[in-house]
Chains A and B, each alone.
Chain A
Amino acid sequence: MGPKYATPNFSEARRALLIGGAAAGLTVSFGRLFFTPASAATGGTLQVMAWEGYDLTNELKTWREENGVTVETTSIASQDDVHTKFIVGNPPPLDLAEYNQAYSELYIDQIKIVSPLDVSKIPNYNADNLFSVFFDKPTWFKDGTLYGSPYIWGFNTLLYNSAEMEEPKSYKDLLKPELKGKIAIMDDATGNWPLIARLAGFGEKYPALTKDELKTAFDSFVAFRDQARLIAINQGDVANFIASKEVLAVVVADPQIIQQVTAQGVPLKMAVPEEGPVLWVDAWFIPVSADNVETAHAFINQSLDPQVQANVCMSIHQAPVSKKAVELLDEAARQRIDYSKIDQIFSAGLPGIPPVEAESEVASYDDWIQAWQQFKAGM
């Protein structure tokens, strides 16, 4: 919570000016040099940090208009974008941000950038609406306090061009000689790490591998790099290379690109190899520096509405945390995942990140980052 020395009038003026568009937008941004006091009712500007397509721009249009809410979104390109913003002495004016479950401990316990949620203001967060795997689970719910509200989930897995190759049964099938120079790897460190550990037989131990195990795991993953045409820096990259048939498969990626690629006439499909997909759950959290806390809660509540859940999941090809949303999905979206087996899907637990502060022989987050950098540099 910031000091409250800014005058309330300033905040009023700031909100009033918002309507004007460009010039007003400028004033608002400049105004943010100072802290503004928390407002007590839903409305005003909400600063959201979310992955592109996840900010509910279309899905919550009516809600925003009815409540006089303006949402300003900052895109996340990597989860690191979120917490590194808080290293800055004066934390950013974010009211709401998305985070991957792997970062729960880091955000809540270690760098302490998450403020507790007031469940009474999120009526849609209830056992009746949410799948049990998301309701009051320790990842987001600790000592009777809810810190993050699960919002959407999915899995990254192997994607392949079904016209040009057979469905791979294992990630290792991508190492076949005929696929030399025809596969891509996503430059998404945390997305690849669980898989790298699994391929070396350390799947159970991840994320707590020793330094030696880390080295062994990366040494064997080098075979994939030698096989790869590119280490794609983003999804758009992968999509383009698959659409132009320069690349036939990507080791582990977000199935979100399937629709975009198939629209260009390339039959991209998802395979779930024996080593399994990499599961993820994104949750909303309200940063400690938030100033429109009331509206942030209202926004979270809206995002859990079954219809909103169904709409956003259909548009970005992910899965809802609301079980009521499943029946509102269209046929194609419902077929993607067997929702009756959700407990099994999550039974193996969700991947975390390597410990930021590691003891003795355990490889730390920094060690993993460095291993990934070396991997990319061809070492």
Chain B
Amino acid sequence: MILRITVYLILAFLLIPLALIVLFSFNASPSFTFPITGYSMRWYAQIFSDPQLGSALWKSFWIATLTAIITFLLGAAASLAWLRLGRKGRTVLEILCITPIALPGLFLGVSLLVLASQVGVQLSMITIVLSHVVLALPMLMIAMRARLALFDPNLEEASRDLGASQVLTFRRVTLPLIAPTLISCAVLSFALSFDEFVVTAFVSGTETTLPMYIWSMMRRTVTPLINAISTLAMVFTIAIISIALAIAAMKRATNLSSRDVA
């Protein structure tokens, strides 16, 4: 009972500021003070009439999509590798693909900036995507490592011993095990990249992503417009996560049923 109350109190602590963000996005006046005197949709209307904001949104969307795809591909291959590698190989993977999570964004941001400068590569959307993958991949690998710990490598062998082809083994045994985690991690990578600010600030060059745009807007004036953007982004994230979960749930269901039949 006490435990449940504690949990709900902590949840309230986490959620009240978010509720406030949503609430103020409907504020009729540009201020952030109580009491709220009137409600309007003006800030939402403004989002769609600001071409610079639109372009920042699109850029962030593309950057996040590419980040998710690259992270997914690299992560999927590395996860399959994990199952096949011995202790030494796993250690190498761990050091390279997991330890970066223990480095702050600031550190990664400035080191990637230094690299770009040394190699003479212009900062662009490419450098943003490349650096976001460095942030996202370790997170995916941590989740995958936990997931793969449950995996019995004998399963794959057993399946092959029973005469199943490589492809069939992959489809029936390996894929169902790693796919849900991979997909949800790709979604998380998308969300991570979409909101990334610290690293982006160093490697964006002249590109303006959504968080960069919010930051530059705050410089001049802070209106509930930023709340409206944030609320929409939240709705968008929730939608993406729900879709991914639904797909994963469906996949799991079909896999289970097909296994039952088999």
Query: Is A in direct contact with B (CB under 8 Å) within the complex?
Result: yes
Q: Is the CB of A236 within 8 A of B218?
A: yes
Contact with A along B181-197 (1 / 0, CB 8 A): 00000000000000000
Beyond A236-B219, A260-B221, whether A32 also contacts B119 by CB under 8 A is no
Report the minimal beta-carbon distance from B53 to chain A, rounded to whole angstroms. 12
Taking a contact as CB atoms closer than 8 A, the residue among A30, A33, A74, A263 that contacts B206 in the complex is A74
Chain B residues with CB under 8 Å of A33's CB are: 121-122, 124, 126
Task: Tell me the dominant secondary structure on chain B's binding face.
Answer: helix
Q: Is the CB of A264 within 8 A of B220?
A: no
Q: Is the CB of B219 within 8 A of A77?
A: yes
Q: Is the CB of A49 within 8 A of B124?
A: no
Which bracket fits the contact residues of A? 35 or more
Chain B residues with CB under 8 Å of A87's CB are: 117
Q: How far is the CA of A64 from the CA of B219 in the complex (A)?
A: 27
Q: How far is the CA of A353 from the CA of B90 in the complex (A)?
A: 54
Beyond A22-B58, A32-B122, A33-B122, whether A75 also contacts B216 by CB under 8 A is yes
Chain B residues with CB under 8 Å of A29's CB are: 59, 124-126, 207
Beyond A88-B116, A88-B123, A90-B122, whether A74 also contacts B31 by CB under 8 A is no
Is A257 an interface residue, CB under 8 A from the partner?
yes
Report the minimal beta-carbon distance from B36 to chain A, rounded to whole angstroms. 13
Is A25 an interface residue, CB under 8 A from the partner?
yes
Within 8 A of B (CB), among A231-278: 234-237, 239-240, 243-244, 256-257, 260, 263-264
Chain B residues with CB under 8 Å of A30's CB are: 124-126
Of chain A, the residue at the smallest CB distance from B29 is: A264
Within 8 A of B (CB), among A96-120: none
Contact with A along B49-62 (1 / 0, CB 8 A): 00010010011011
Q: Is the CB of B122 within 8 A of A52?
A: no
Within 8 A of A (CB), among B32-79: 32-33, 52, 55, 58-59, 61-62
Chain B residues with CB under 8 Å of A93's CB are: 122, 206
Q: How far is the CA of A243 from the CA of B31 in the complex (A)?
A: 8
- A residues in contact (CB < 8 Å) with B: 21-23, 25-26, 29-30, 32-33, 47, 49, 52-53, 57, 72-75, 77, 85, 87-90, 92-94, 234-237, 239-240, 243-244, 256-257, 260, 263-264
Q: How far is the CA of A49 from the CA of B32 in the complex (A)?
A: 30
Q: Is the CB of B58 within 8 A of A92?
A: no
Q: How far is the CA of A90 from the CA of B115 in the complex (A)?
A: 11
- B residues in contact (CB < 8 Å) with A: 29-33, 52, 55, 58-59, 61-62, 113, 116-126, 205-208, 215-222
Q: Is the CB of A52 within 8 A of B220?
A: yes
Report the minimal beta-carbon distance from A83 to chain B, rounded to whole angstroms. 14
Q: Is the CB of A264 within 8 A of B219?
A: no
Chain B residues with CB under 8 Å of A237's CB are: 218, 222
Taking a contact as CB atoms closer than 8 A, the residue among A73, A88, A89 that contacts B52 in the complex is A73
Q: How far is the CA of A236 from the CA of B117 in the complex (A)?
A: 32
Chain A residues with CB under 8 Å of B113's CB are: 88
Q: Is the CB of B124 within 8 A of A239?
A: no
Report the minimal beta-carbon distance from A194 to chain B, rounded to whole angstroms. 21
Report the minimal beta-carbon distance from B198 to chain A, rounded to whole angstroms. 15
Chain B residues with CB under 8 Å of A47's CB are: 206
Chain B residues with CB under 8 Å of A260's CB are: 30, 221
**Please, could you name 30 A-B residue pairs with CB atoms under 8 Å apart, sorted by A?**
A21-B58, A22-B62, A26-B62, A30-B124, A30-B125, A30-B126, A32-B122, A33-B122, A47-B206, A52-B220, A74-B208, A75-B219, A77-B215, A87-B117, A88-B116, A88-B117, A89-B116, A90-B120, A90-B122, A92-B123, A92-B206, A234-B219, A236-B217, A236-B219, A239-B221, A244-B31, A257-B221, A260-B30, A263-B30, A264-B31
